[in-house]
């Protein structure tokens, strides 16, 4: 059945859970899975009732990378303009959390690095072992790892292809939370904390953090204002202030 439905989605309040559903293949990405993820990402961004997403894997593992059997048949699990697994070149505009159990290797690691936050079980393993297969981590691993961890450490992992654990990843600052239980449960706690906030404010805050890394210093305040200005005059901004004053939960409208 998982071959027929390689990606599952579930809505819990403002949270969209995206599950890679090829457990018999350790959730290795083929073209069908990539199309399913891309469709789920489109849904996350398009639905005003959703404010945060979680991507996880079925069967106790996150993703073992590219489906090598498909690769040998000439199939590529990438979508033009979207990248590997329909995600790595075009992450959503809304926050996305990776919930990692088991292995996040090769393309699986690159999926996780594409997310805004990562929560992992203590026994999870990470790595970009493509060099061991005569390949290169071209779906974002070689680009994002040296930006998200110390340069020389990223260089070592990329050139040796060795795995590293969740504790090491946490020490390097690429994981937000390490849990003893299922990663999804901890990711849902994090997502709920995000989803309780104003959706316009959350989306704009992510946009500033992501885009400001490339802004010239003499333009950064102007560019930030262009993004956050509409938030300050939104209905949600007034609702947030009123809810605080009236000591009640806010009723966000996303406008």
**How much of the chain exceeds pLDDT 70, in percent?**
99
pLDDT at 3: 56
Each domain of the chain, given as residue ranges in start order, spans 7-195, 199-246
252 Cβ contact list (under 8 Å, min separation 6): 198, 199, 236, 239
Q: List pLDDT tens digits, range 84-97.
A: 999 999 999 999 99
Rounded CA separation 136/85 (Å): 16
Q: List pLDDT tens digits, range 49-70.
A: 999 999 999 999 999 999 978 7
Cα Dmax for the chain = 62
Distance of CA 159 to the CA centre of its chain: 24
Once rounded to an integer, what is the mean pLDDT over residues 103-126? 98
Of 36, 33, 181, whose CA–CA distance to 100 is shortest?
A: 181
Positions marked active-site? 110, 130
pLDDT at 27: 96
Q: List pLDDT tens digits, range 125-178.
A: 999 999 998 999 999 999 999 999 999 999 999 999 999 999 999 999 999 999
pTM of the model: 0.94
H or E segment to which residue 222 belongs: helix 220-232
Of 159, 40, 169, whose CA–CA distance to 109 is shortest?
A: 169
Of 24, 17, 86, 21, whose CA–CA distance to 53 is shortest?
A: 17
- What is the number of helices (H) and of strands (E) in the chain? 10, 11
Second CATH level (architecture) for the domain 7-195: Alpha-Beta Complex (3.90)
| Length of the chain, in residues | 255
Written as six digits, the tokens of 150 are 């110390």
């Amino acid at each position: 059945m998982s071959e027929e439905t390689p990606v599952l989605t579930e809505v819990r309040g403002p949270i969209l859970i995206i599950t890679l559903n090829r457990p018999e293949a350790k959730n290795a990405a083929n073209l069908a899975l990539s199309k399913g993820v891309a469709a789920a990402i489109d849904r996350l961004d398009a639905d005003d009732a959703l404010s945060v997403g979680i991507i996880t894997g079925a069967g106790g593992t996150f993703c073992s990378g590219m489906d090598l059997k498909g690769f040998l048949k000439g199939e590529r699990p990438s979508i033009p303009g979207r990248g590997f697994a329909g995600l790595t070149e075009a992450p959503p505009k809304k926050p996305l959390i990776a919930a990692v159990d088991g292995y996040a290797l090769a393309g699986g690691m690159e999926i996780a690095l594409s997310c805004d936050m990562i929560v992992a079980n203590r026994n999870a393993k990470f790595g970009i072992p493509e060099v061991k297969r005569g390949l290169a981590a071209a779906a974002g691993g070689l680009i994002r790892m040296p930006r998200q961890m110390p340069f020389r450490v990223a260089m070592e992992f990329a050139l040796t292809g060795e795995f590293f654990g969740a504790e090491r990843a946490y020490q390097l600052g690429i994981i937000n939370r390490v849990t003893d239980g299922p990663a999804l449960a901890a990711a849902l706690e994090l997502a709920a904390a995000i989803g309780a906030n104003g959706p316009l404010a959350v989306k704009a805050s992510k946009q500033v953090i992501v885009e400001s890394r490339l802004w010239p210093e003499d333009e950064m305040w102007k560019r930030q204002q262009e993004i956050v200005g509409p938030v300050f005059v939104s209905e949600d901004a007034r609702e947030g202030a009123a809810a605080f004053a009236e000591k009640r939960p806010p009723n966000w409208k996303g406008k």
